[in-house]
Amino acid sequence: MFFIKNILLFAGICYVVKYIEYIFSYHCKCVKKSIILRKPAEIRKYSSISIISQRLESRDFLFPYLVGLIEGDGWFTISKKGKYVMYELGIELSIKDVQLLYKIKSILGVGTIFFRKRERIEKSLSNRDDTVIYRIRNKSHLLRIIIPIFEKYPMFTSKQFDFIRFRTYLLLNVIYSKDLLPYNRPKIYFNSIDTIINSYYFPFWLIGFIEAEGCFSVYKPKNDSSLIGSFEISQTNEKLIILAIKRYLNLTGNVRVDSTNNFKLKVSSIRNVENVIKFMYLVPIKLKGNKKLQYLLWLKKLRIIPRYYKKINIPLDY
């Protein structure tokens, strides 16, 4: 009986130990799962950096689209803030493109979005949209996420000089405004037309640039009863990029410049419109913001204008 009692006692102790081990193991699993679900901000940040790196390695052409969009309506700036300097990447678009900027913020995983309301002082401003601004100021985010994108897909306009200066100071970790050298953007072309149009990512860049600076419209001339469809693209101080776009899309017409040194190309002939439509249809990446709606409405109107629909194969979708 003594022997049997000892065996039962030993078995009971083992059962209690096993039960405690089970409870402890279950508790550890729950805690680990809870930690994973919560994902602290620091973990999320490095997860975003890892995803961006992987997509850059796989040649995700959303990034050259983003470069083109920012090259059209964005900036790299280093500004003085007291005795310190502030680094900023920003892009400002019409309030109609608020969803586009939230989409970009979601992809990059960093940055802030805020709204700018235009003051309605003059009648000339009454029809102008409020704007939405997306910006990144965190130096770690700029170094780990933004710089690699713009190194992989360099800009084509003279804004590349702004980026080179921006990256140089950021990598040197310059923090005091007294250490900034005077800067004026060089008035020389960073590229040639051939180097631009022969770049493998130029078509994807161009979709982003059109998102920012392109315009699809239909108008009625004063001395003509028929409607005219036109495509227009422009950029201030950047004649070369407009000439490159003209050659790449095989467009005819003159590049004009106004009093603000804004270079503009506007085409409306049947062949020019056809060339624009072919490019928009064939390039794998598509417009993503309000410009996509503008383009779809443009196609819809072209389908009822005889001079176009009788000679051009106008797609029903985009």
Partners of 56 in beta bridges:
none
Do 93 and 135 touch, CB atoms closer than 8 A?
Answer: no
pTM for this model (two decimals): 0.81
Neighbours of 271 (CB within 10 A): 13
Instruction: Tell whether 17 is covered by a domain.
Output: no
Residues 204 and 301 in one domain: yes
15-34 average pLDDT score: 36
Instruction: Kindly tell me if the per-residue pLDDT of 36 is higher than 90.
Output: no
pLDDT tens, 81-105?
A: 999 999 999 999 999 999 999 999 9
Q: Which of 157, 179, 201 is the last residue of a domain?
A: 179
* Tokens of residue 242, six digits: 């407009």
Cα separation, 61 vs 16, in Å, equals 60
Residue numbers of the domain that contains 152: 48-179
Q: Which of 179, 207, 232 is the last residue of a domain?
A: 179
How many distinct structural domains can be found in the chain?
A: 2
Instruction: Tell whether 8 is covered by a domain.
Output: no
Residues 173 and 285 in one domain: no
Residues 76 and 54 in one domain: yes
Q: Which of 150, 179, 208 is the last residue of a domain?
A: 179
Instruction: Tell whether 271 is covered by a domain.
Output: yes
The average confidence (pLDDT) of the chain is 85
Instruction: Tell whether 37 is covered by a domain.
Output: no
Residues 128 and 239 in one domain: no
Angle at 206 between CA 237 and CA 183, to 5 degrees: 35
Residue recorded with tokens 């193991």: 25
- Comparing 7-11, 136-140, 235-239, the range with the smallest average pLDDT is 7-11
242-255 average pLDDT score: 97
Residues 81 and 135 in one domain: yes
Residues 255 and 148 in one domain: no
Instruction: Kindly tell me if the per-residue pLDDT of 218 is higher than 70.
Output: yes
Instruction: Tell whether 91 is covered by a domain.
Output: yes
Residues 106 and 200 in one domain: no
Residues 157 and 101 in one domain: yes
35-45 average pLDDT score: 39
pLDDT tens, 130-154?
A: 999 999 999 999 999 999 999 999 9
- Comparing 22-31, 241-250, 279-288, the range with the smallest average pLDDT is 22-31
Instruction: Tell whether 165 is covered by a domain.
Output: yes
Q: How confident is the model at residue 28 (pLDDT cuts 50, 70, 90)?
A: very low
Residues 207 and 295 in one domain: yes
Instruction: Kindly tell me if the per-residue pLDDT of 287 is higher than 90.
Output: yes
Cα separation, 88 vs 139, in Å, equals 9
Residues 166 and 113 in one domain: yes
Instruction: Kindly tell me if the per-residue pLDDT of 52 is higher than 90.
Output: no
Instruction: Tell whether 314 is covered by a domain.
Output: no
Instruction: Kindly tell me if the per-residue pLDDT of 43 is higher than 90.
Output: no
Which CATH number characterizes residue 85's domain? 3.10.28.10
Residues 76 and 118 in one domain: yes
